[in-house]
Amino acid sequence: MAAIESAPDEHTPIAVIGAGVAGIGLAVSLRAAGFEDFVILERAADLGGTWQANTYPGCACDVPSQLYSYSFAPNPDWSRTYGRQPEILDYLRGVAHRHDVVRHMRFGSEVHRAQWDEARRRWLVHTGRGVLSADVLISAVGPFSEAKIPNVPGRESFRGTQFHSLHWDHDHDLTGERIAVVGTGASAVQFIPEIAPKARRLTVFQRSAPWIVSRFDRPTLGPERALLRRLPVLGTALRGAYYAGIESFGLVGFVDRRFRHPFQMLSALQLRRQVRDPELRRKLTPDYMIGCKRAIFSDAYYPALTRPDVEVVTDSIAEIRPDAIVTADGSAYPVDTIVWGTGFGAIPQLYDRIIGSGELSVADHYRRRPSSYLGAAIAGFPNMFLTLGPFGAAGNQSAIYMIESQIGYIVDALRTMRDNEIDRVEVRASVQNRFLDEMHRRSRDTVWLGGGCDSYYTTDKGENAGLYPNWSFEYRRRVARFDADSYLLSRRAAHPEPNHAEMSAVR
């Protein structure tokens, strides 16, 4: 192992990276379990994670707010069925302040490097504000934190304004401009209806048409909110109903692909009802099974594309000129502003800077073959846990449900370490490999692999990239308690040598 040169400025028992949905929920659970000595390292100037970073017009959640909220902090006062970004951010701030976890947060503390020190059984964490050591490192970093922009020839030569939806330029006035939107993923589907009325001309460059499902969004009436405040059990019932409805998409994903027909029929009916032009309808009809990519909920997207000043282009982009985008057929589309709605990086850049016991980074590990144990631990990374790791995310359920499941597991692991004076815990490579084999075996007949599309759900080798291929309630059952027998454990002061044969067996 390479020498670790920097001496820490301070020590903390637990260091959490990220003050978003996962970091806040974890902090609340840590305090509830009696852990008070921990820090949360956040690179931004405020909490909120993806809901602090994404501020593009129309930014909202695609899960009903009664379900996209912490189980321990129900909110009867959501203004709409689906919360908008400002309201969700306010909710997260309120939870953090009410549970007194903001004092644990250190803003402007980007992690430049974190490396495991085997001799001291600690993590050495370099941040923009200094160096600290930690007995346990927990990554609570979200999946939508870093913009992805394709390397299109000539992009740097463009003389107009260009930005990614994650870094929306609110100072730039789009009124009367010729705007190009590249990409038709979830973010673009939300902001296109917002900017279309402002544009002189809006050109949408689409690589693959998304499946669009009606959102059924509406304001929550005052009497409804009053009733939810007075009878919390109604909120619990509503949350359960939303959970069951969203979970039913698993019928399409991994139970039997034949169940896709009623879902596809509903989406096709919406397209036929909202788009009358047969040529445009043809462009907007997906050529893969619903569920192969995440379906997008919107009632405003199709109407925005039918405007006379909006055009959908399906030819691939060949190059960008100083004042135009040129497609493969040679057509040039003059534009003043380019908005990149091209999604996010699959692997957070942070993971290139977290180095485990074998000198590999988390990103190295993921690039070889995405794997973890239960989405919460990785062999070769002692005393490290994570949320929404490979096979710890759901393609058909609220992320908060999965995050809370993992938080319970992680806190139980920390409680086990504390109560038994354990100073080193690492998932056994053999256990992780068996779990990985199970995940890929279960994934073979899923729509994610056999639905006829390319998406971030799959790797370059055509394997499941990390979605849990079963019901989310089955996943929660598996992580209901920390299974210590699946881990290599050592007690304080004992310090036996780690089982390197086990670690080298990681695939």
Classify residue 249: in a domain, yes or no.
Answer: no
Note the pLDDT of residue 168: 98
Same domain, 283 and 183: yes
Residue 505 has pLDDT above 50, yes or no: no
Question: Could you read off the pLDDT of 406-436 as tens digits, one per residue?
Answer: 999 999 999 999 999 999 999 999 999 999 9
Question: Could you read off the pLDDT of 364-375 as tens digits, one per residue?
Answer: 999 999 999 999
Instruction: For residue 481, give the nearest of 433, 415, 383 by alpha carbon.
Output: 415
Residue 454 has pLDDT above 90, yes or no: no
The CATH number that applies at residue 414 is 3.50.50.60
Residue 450 has pLDDT above 80, yes or no: yes
Tell me the Cα Rg of the chain.
24
Same domain, 334 and 199: yes
Classify residue 171: in a domain, yes or no.
Answer: yes
Question: Could you read off the pLDDT of 65-78 as tens digits, one per residue?
Answer: 999 999 999 999 99
Question: Could you read off the pLDDT of 310-356 as tens digits, one per residue?
Answer: 999 999 999 999 999 999 999 999 999 999 999 998 788 999 999 99
Q: Which one of 340, 359, 393 terminates a domain? A: 340
Helix (H, G, I), strand (E, B) or coil at 145: coil
Show the domain range for 185. Answer: 155-219+256-340
Residue 498 has pLDDT above 60, yes or no: no
d(CA 202, CA 479): 47
Classify residue 391: in a domain, yes or no.
Answer: yes
- Report CA-CA distances (Å) from 247 to 251, 358, 444, 448: 8, 39, 20, 16
Q: Which one of 324, 340, 356 terminates a domain? A: 340
d(CA 417, CA 415): 5
Q: How many domains does the chain have?
A: 2
Same domain, 84 and 130: yes
Q: What is the pTM of this model?
A: 0.93
Q: In the chain, what is the straight-line distance between the N-terminal and C-terminal CA atoms, in Å?
A: 20
Note the pLDDT of residue 255: 60
Q: What mean pLDDT, rounded, does the chain reach?
A: 93
Same domain, 209 and 305: yes
Residue that wins the pLDDT comparison between 249 and 482: 482
Tokens at 438, concatenated: 């199970």
Same domain, 350 and 479: yes
Classify residue 482: in a domain, yes or no.
Answer: yes
Tokens at 63, concatenated: 């899960």
Q: Which one of 285, 313, 340 terminates a domain? A: 340
Same domain, 359 and 288: no
Classify residue 237: in a domain, yes or no.
Answer: no
Check: CB of residue 443 under 8 Å from CB of residue 435: no
Over residues 279-299, mean pLDDT: 94
Which of 163-177, 257-271, 310-324, 361-375 is predicted with the least confidence, judged by mean pLDDT?
257-271
d(CA 425, CA 144): 29
Question: Could you read off the pLDDT of 231-247 as tens digits, one per residue?
Answer: 999 999 999 999 998 88
Residue 502 has pLDDT above 70, yes or no: no
Same domain, 329 and 352: no
Classify residue 4: in a domain, yes or no.
Answer: no
Q: What is the percent of the chain with per-residue pLDDT over 70, rounded to a whole number?
A: 94
Same domain, 331 and 380: no
Same domain, 108 and 175: no
Over residues 54-69, mean pLDDT: 96
Classify residue 402: in a domain, yes or no.
Answer: yes
Over residues 288-303, mean pLDDT: 93
Sign of CA dihedral 494, 380, 350, 4: positive
Other Cβ atoms less than 10 A from the Cβ of 207: the count is 15
Residue 382 has pLDDT above 70, yes or no: yes
Classify residue 505: in a domain, yes or no.
Answer: no
Same domain, 329 and 284: yes
d(CA 408, CA 29): 8
Confidence class for position 254, pLDDT limits 50, 70, 90: low
Over residues 462-475, mean pLDDT: 93
Same domain, 319 and 365: no
Check: CB of residue 131 under 8 Å from CB of residue 125: yes
Note the pLDDT of residue 253: 59
Same domain, 133 and 172: no
Alpha-helical segments (H) within 206-231: 222-230
